[in-house]
Chain A
């Protein structure tokens, strides 16, 4: 790597289900202003702006064009990247690459979604809808994919339904400590277990909400970091991986069914973590990492990711619940932010995982702060079978 890099600013809007009082541009601008304030910078200090969201969710083609008025991109470098659920982390990886060249002073990355303006359902459906494969494509892909993961976990005796509810309650407690989170309501195990079934054993309260909001990060190379911040979050390593073998084609959605390699989602998450561990000499993640943020589109997924990123042995997720290891005061807190089950503005979600780890490393988590964080990992996953792994450290 030519230059070592660090996150020197993080900004988020608060997240809600609807914000009819602001336009998409005004909302994005809120996150940008928050990030600049957090970094003690002005827009003049920014060299490049990279934007990411889902085109058809709001129906904006080349959305970075219109947003140039609020993102700060006017007369600056930049372009748009987009993958899927992992768009936010793809933006992060692009920003990290750009920063590591040393060609820029500071780079701003933005992920957002304003789902109250769009038709998320119809846009998601369009992944599968096909003129040639025109039957059997109206499935709710996210829910059924999680269902297949959930059934597998129950079958392996990795976790019980009650324990899943306990983990969901943990997430709610964390979200209540995060002023930006969308769902900030105390939940009880009974409430979760009695919430309506979506696709058994998956229940409504296990699933992520539909949120509106934006997240922004500011990244700088080492030569600039010293001038900007005495509390940078060093980005030690990052990787992006894609895991689809069978493509989506009309009704054929192999991410939802078992392939010889297991569910495809889980595969890419595991690979992303493995790459990071291998390249950084991490052999005991539970011991060596101080905090983890995962892309928990549902509580079941969070628990599956614990195993996949080796916070515990396969089939041992229940032990982490019994030991309360992943709680805020446990030995390996997962999603102190409340995670995706509390807040899900698609284009922002994966960036928030990275941003929240940076917040923890910088000690700016206020009520959700995990004590003494020296190293944290963010792992993302999208229904697009992209995953990213980002390792962030207090010092290099």
Chain B
């Protein structure tokens, strides 16, 4: 593979519990505008030749606006007129994956990726119910919370993890969020606060779950030739992998994530990573529910299976630990679903650039981003970012 791809710019809005001041399209324009200002890029239809944004990948799903082809209401705010636009209907990591692949295809040079969502405007559970088999699962009422709760009890049963292990994740990530200017402001919490918060579906409590959030994120990825003209501090995407698992929770051993294991192996192979535990300096992991950070860390091979509890107890995933995880606060600090994977990619980018402010992890060179789509991690996407160009790619 001769071509290389890097992230050259990111932009985020503040992620709020409810943003009634901006519409979906106004949120989106906020990030598109920031990108245009940062990069001085123009869109393909605005220039005769040379460097320009030549494709837009938007990440959203019609359900969240209750509108078929919902992106039609948003195109002006992503610069969509007279452009190659495609919509990825999955987590934001999949949009980054698509964009990076489109650059590697040689068919594109600079791609703008955008995502926005206002979860506060509707009911998440009622949307998620429709992701299940319409005959065997949907009438039973499942949503992502209850499916995740089944996975959590299975995980606890198989490896002896406790609710306290999960609570530690929630405390760590919410504590990391205090140094993230894009995160909502909340008071610090303790393990006891988590354990005593309202039970949603055993063992998941209010503070174990991702809160409702509104916000937007945009990312620009570019080919090697374009990167030189755009930034001195690119962050290279050296590894990509994604994978589906089986749909029915009963068909899977829920305490083991086969799909994530395969997705990460693809990404490691592409990035030439032989020993992820040694080589990866920080990880952004989809912690929609607190137990997931631990289960996915295992699936990624960043710790042994069943050792997620020991990992969080050891403190090595704290911001000053050996493998900081979710340095900006993760989904638990309030990222909108869909946007989440892009926000986590943006955080890894800022960290590797050395622009993460008070939450900066010193000397980080290789970061991993993982995102998930569907019930209890049915589909995973893994992205490896590197300050230096990968050797293998």
Contact = CB atoms under 8 A, between A and B. Distances in A.
Interface of A: 1-2, 23-24, 49, 54-57, 59-66, 68-69, 73-84, 90, 93-94, 96-103, 123-124, 126-127, 129, 238-245, 247-249, 271, 382-386
Contact of B373 (A65, A69, A100, A247): A65
Nearest to B55: A240
Contacts of B243: 75-77
B1 A103 contact: yes
A386 B61 CA distance: 17
B56 to A, nearest CB: 8
A74 B242 contact: no
Max chain A Cβ within 10 angstroms of own Cβ: one of B61, B128, B247: B247
Contacts of B389: none
A57 B81 CA distance: 26
Contact of B259 (A75, A101, A385): A75
B88 interface: yes
Contacts of A99: 105
B60 to A, nearest CB: 9
B134 A79 contact: no
Contacts of B74: 247
A238 B127 CA distance: 34
B104 interface: yes
Residue among B1, B72, B375 with the most chain A CB within 10 A?
B72
B142 to A, nearest CB: 12
A123 B101 CA distance: 32
B89 interface: yes
A212 to B, nearest CB: 16
Interface in B101-154: 101-102, 104-108, 127-135
Contacts of A248: 72-73
A82 B85 contact: no
Interface stretch (B90-98, B292-300, B320-328): B90-98
Contacts of A79: 88-90, 94, 97-98, 242, 373, 379, 381
Given A62-B374, A123-B68, A242-B75, 15 more contacts: A2-B2, A2-B106, A57-B68, A65-B373, A66-B132, A74-B244, A78-B242, A80-B89, A82-B87, A83-B71, A101-B1, A126-B68, A240-B84, A242-B84, A382-B69
Contacts of A242: 75, 80-85
7 contacts: A56-B67, A75-B245, A97-B98, A97-B108, A100-B105, A243-B81, A247-B74
Nearest to A47: B266
B83 A247 contact: no
B258 A75 contact: yes
Contact of B266 (A77, A96, A124, A386): A77
A84 B72 CA distance: 9
Contacts of B329: none
B16 to A, nearest CB: 21
Contacts of A247: 25, 72-76
B86 interface: yes
Given A65-B374, A103-B104, A55 B84 contact: no
Closest 8 CB pairs of A and B: A100-B105, A65-B374, A61-B130, A1-B106, A84-B69, A79-B94, A242-B85, A101-B104
A242 B97 CA distance: 21
Contact of B90 (A1, A62, A129, A386): A62
Contacts of A386: 85
Contacts of A127: 67-69, 72
A61 B72 contact: no
Give the dominant DSSP class at A's interface: mixed
A62 B107 contact: no
B63 interface: yes
Contacts of A64: 90, 244, 374, 379
Contacts of B373: 62, 65, 79
Contacts of B339: none
Interface string B243-260: 111111000000000110
B62 interface: yes
Contacts of B3: 2
A55 B61 contact: yes
B61 A61 contact: yes
B87 A103 contact: no
A244 B1 contact: no
B246 A74 contact: yes
A244 B248 CA distance: 40
A84 B316 CA distance: 46
Contacts of B129: 61
Given A54-B68, A56-B68, A101 B82 contact: no
User: Which of B90, B97, B262 has most chain A Cβ within 10 Å?
Assistant: B90
A100 B80 CA distance: 24
A99 to B, nearest CB: 8
A126 B88 CA distance: 20
A139 to B, nearest CB: 15
Nearest to B373: A62
A99 B101 CA distance: 9
Contact of B378 (A68, A83, A240): A68
Nearest to B126: A61
B244 A98 contact: no
B331 to A, nearest CB: 17
A23 B135 contact: yes
Contacts of A243: 81-82
A124 B101 contact: no
Contacts of A385: 72
